[in-house]
Amino acid sequence: MKNIVILISGRGSNMQALLEANLPCKIAAVISNRADAQGLEIARMHDIPTAVVAHRDYPDRASFDAALAAAIDRHAPDVIALAGFMRILTDHFVERYRGKLVNIHPSLLPAYPGIDTHERALSDGIKIHGCTVHFVTPTLDHGPIIIQAAVPVMRSDTPQTLSERVLHEEHRIYAQAIRWLCRGQVWLNKEGRVSGNRLEQPGAALIFPGLE
Ligand code: GRF
């Protein structure tokens, strides 16, 4: 069975969704860069080993990343899932875990990389928004895409209501992506693209506002 390590910085709802998804892998540890991350308590309640590697304890990004890598490698993970992990990682770190490091991002990438995705989506007036699970590469929020979910944007939406709608889908697609990775049904190929041997299923188009 494959091992997975989850990295968090805060609330940990995506982490919780993974812990409760009955995944075909062993969740070996949850690691946070903040000792006060709420998600750590949730992990402990699920009897998952936790660790804190506090970025504030390190003089620069390279030394923090080295300490983080040491904490990760203790568990020899096959998959490392960033779940609301709010530190930008060095290229060296990202290359070291090529094909193993995945992230969930609250937009339909490549639209809206970075932060405040829901605010930016609302101010642009887009009608369809969503979330993405992707392999992590050195360019922030630009790695090869594994799965995406789209949601409608309502006229009455606030950043809060929109983020809740997107978050609900994040929890579903992240568990699905990790399941494929753990079963070896999806991988990053030598050309740096996503390969997979699962069947593509016909999906319904999301058109919003709907056609007459
Ligand atoms: C999620 O929206 C995730 O996509 C983004 O940060 C948020 C983290 O939420 N990267 P949580 O900590 O998983 O609840």
Phi and psi at residue 53, in whole multiples of 5°? -120, 100
| Closest ligand 1 atom number to CA of residue 103 | 10
Q: What is the pLDDT of residue 198?
A: 75
Residues with CB under 6 A from ligand 1: 8, 10-14, 83-84, 104-106, 167, 170
Query: Which of 131, 87, 126 lies closest to 113 in space, CA to CA?
Result: 131
CATH code of 3-195, in short, is 3.40.50.170
Query: What is the rounded average pLDDT for all residues in the chain?
Result: 96
- In eight-state DSSP terms, residue 83 is S
105 assigned to active site = yes
**Of all protein residues, whose CA lies closest to atom 7 belonging to ligand 1?**
84
**Of all protein residues, whose CA lies closest to atom 10 belonging to ligand 1?**
84
Position with higher pLDDT, 209 vs 102: 102
Residues present in the chain in total: 212
Q: Provide the percentage of residues in the chain whose pLDDT is more than 90.
A: 92
* Sequential DSSP letters for 103-147: EEESSSTTSS-SS-HHHHHHHHT-SEEEEEEEE--SSTT-SPEEE
Query: Which of 210, 190, 212, 186 lies closest to 198 in space, CA to CA?
Result: 186
For residue 68, is it left (φ>0), alpha (ψ between -120 and 50) or beta? alpha
Ligand 1 centroid – CA 212 distance (Å)? 35
Q: What is the pLDDT of residue 197?
A: 85
- In eight-state DSSP terms, residue 194 is E
Domain ranges of the chain: 3-195
Query: In a mutational test of the pocket of ligand 1, which residue from 8, 13, 14, 88 has the highest number of ligand atoms less than 8 Å from its CB?
Result: 14
